[in-house]
Amino acid sequence: MSGGVHLFVPMLHRHDAVGEHTRALRDRLTAAGLASRIYTERPDPATRAETRPYLDYAADAEAGDVLVYQFATQSVIAGWLAARPEPVVVNYHSVTPPEFFGPWNNGITRGQVAALQELAHLAPTAALGIADSAFVADELRRAGCPRTVVVPVAGVSDPPVEPSGEALDRLRARHSGPGPRWLSVGRLAPNKAHHHTIAALFVARAEGAPDASLTLVGSPTEPAYAAALHRYAAALGLAGAVDFVSGVSDDELAAQYRTADVLVMLSDHEGFGVPLVEAMGHGLPIVAFDAGAVSEVLGDAGVLLDRKTPRHVASVVSNLLADPAERERLTGIGRARLAALDVGRAGERLFEAVRTVARPARGPA
């Protein structure tokens, strides 16, 4: 294949699903001997050395280039790519519906509205759409993308990261109480519905598990929502029972999975659900609400909830924690499920998908 495969993303973050996915694809492309650079609208200080401003691409363009856009949020890059002559691959990670943000942050809400408008503009012109899940592929098709394939998020470690003894000891010392420890992983954003998890924990503690605790691992994407979570936990008398953790390393995150008793995921919208596969990899039992791509990713490897009223969630979690045989059965299915999802080869599969768009060299654009 001639030319390079260059990646565009609004910002490149570390420890972020889209960021790690983008870097995994870049690494696979360069390993295959292809030129692959990452262009962004705005630089992240932590990854500035890895990226270039997207407008610089015009001077870098070569015949035969393929451009891959990591689409999850609003960005001027979408409109700019739609006007480029090179074939564009839309690697779509789903736009969180604006209505989730409406009551919390009108700036983000408007951004999400704009992102959907950009998707409707760009998708019909895409040479290929790559979606994280069948759920997301459906969104992409409805936006007018003529050809789509499903490839899971790349950058998820399989086998999982092995936590260090130091990280494990630190967490075990921090959570030395007798009660079960629930874990929830995901940005502190309204669609993640962490408040439902806190409400369920409150009921669990009030009705049979007084020592249960919850660790919420996630960056405060929406500050008003994050602040409300803190206030909610305090009002419910859970300030000492809910641990908010952000900015963790891979080692620390692995230790969180390894030391918790159950992953509780009550998101209202998930395009894929990286924590599900991470929990499967670490052998952590899962209780998750059936939304978006969750059932598609989880399969039979956890308890899938069709509703998430606080008492019901508390009851399901308590029952699961009281049943070692069931936990063992589910984590066993989880290991098989992880192999079936083949997330370890996601980078390779992305590479193969993108290669189908490559075309013979032509004159300069």
Partner 1 sequence: MSQPDDTPGADGPTAADQPLGADEAELLAAFDRLRPQGSVRWAFDDAVRRVDRPDLDSSAGALPWGGLPDDLWDRGRSAQVGKRFVGDVARVLADILAADARAAADAAVGAVNGDRFVATWDALQYLSARVEALEARVDPLGLEAAEWSGPPPDQRAWADTVASWFDGVGPDGAAPGRGPDPGGTGPGSLAVVVGESGDGTLAAALRAAGRPVRAVDPRGTEVWRAFRDGGGPGAPGAGAVLDHVHRHLATLPDRSAAGVVLIGCVDRADLAGKVALVGDAVRVTASGGTVAVLTTDQRAWEASLPAPARDLARGRPFHPETWMLLLDRLGAVGPEWHRAPSGTVEAVVARVER
Contact at 8 Å (CB) between 3 and 361?
yes
Contact at 8 Å (CB) between 220 and 213?
no
**Whose Cβ is closer to partner 1: residue 85's or residue 210's?**
210
Contact at 8 Å (CB) between 236 and 205?
no
Residues 42-61 that bind partner 1 (CB under 8 A): none
**Whose Cβ is closer to partner 1: residue 199's or residue 343's?**
199
Residue 345 C-beta: closest distance to partner 1, Å = 27
**Whose Cβ is closer to partner 1: residue 145's or residue 241's?**
241
Options 35-43, 129-137, 170-178, 315-323: segment touching partner 1 (CB under 8 A): 315-323
**In this chain, which of 11, 76, 149, 304 binds partner 1, going by CB under 8 A?**
304
Number of residues that bind partner 1 (CB under 8 A): 43
Neighbours of 275 (CB within 10 A): 27
Contact at 8 Å (CB) between 210 and 173?
no
At 286, list the tokens: 């899962």
Distance CA 303, CA 334 (A): 11
Could you give the 3-state DSSP secondary structure of residue 257? helix
The Cα angle at residue 333 between residues 19 and 161, in degrees rounded to 5: 35
**Contact status: 103 vs partner 1 (CB under 8 A):** yes
Residue 238 C-beta: closest distance to partner 1, Å = 8
Distance CA 252, CA 243 (A): 14
**Whose Cβ is closer to partner 1: residue 80's or residue 232's?**
232
Residue 246 C-beta: closest distance to partner 1, Å = 17
Bridge partners, residue 52, by sequence: 39
Residue 45 C-beta: closest distance to partner 1, Å = 24
Residue 90 C-beta: closest distance to partner 1, Å = 22
**Contact status: 2 vs partner 1 (CB under 8 A):** no
Check whether the bond before 360 is cis (ω within 30° of 0): no
Residues 106-145 that bind partner 1 (CB under 8 A): 106-107, 110, 113-114, 117
The Cα angle at residue 66 between residues 64 and 71, in degrees rounded to 5: 165
Ranges of beta strands (E only) in the chain are 5-9, 38-40, 51-53, 66-71, 88-92, 128-131, 148-150, 181-185, 213-217, 242-245, 262-265, 286-289, 303-305
**Contact status: 303 vs partner 1 (CB under 8 A):** yes
CA atoms within 13 A on the CB side of 131: 25
Residue 221 C-beta: closest distance to partner 1, Å = 15
Residues 206-235 that bind partner 1 (CB under 8 A): 206, 224, 228, 231-232, 234-235
Options 5-13, 22-30, 126-134, 201-209: segment touching partner 1 (CB under 8 A): 201-209
Options 15-23, 197-205, 212-220, 275-283: segment touching partner 1 (CB under 8 A): 197-205
Binding site for partner 1 (CB under 8 A): 102-107, 110, 113-114, 117, 195-196, 198-199, 202-203, 206, 224, 228, 231-232, 234-239, 300, 302-307, 309-312, 315-316, 319-320, 330
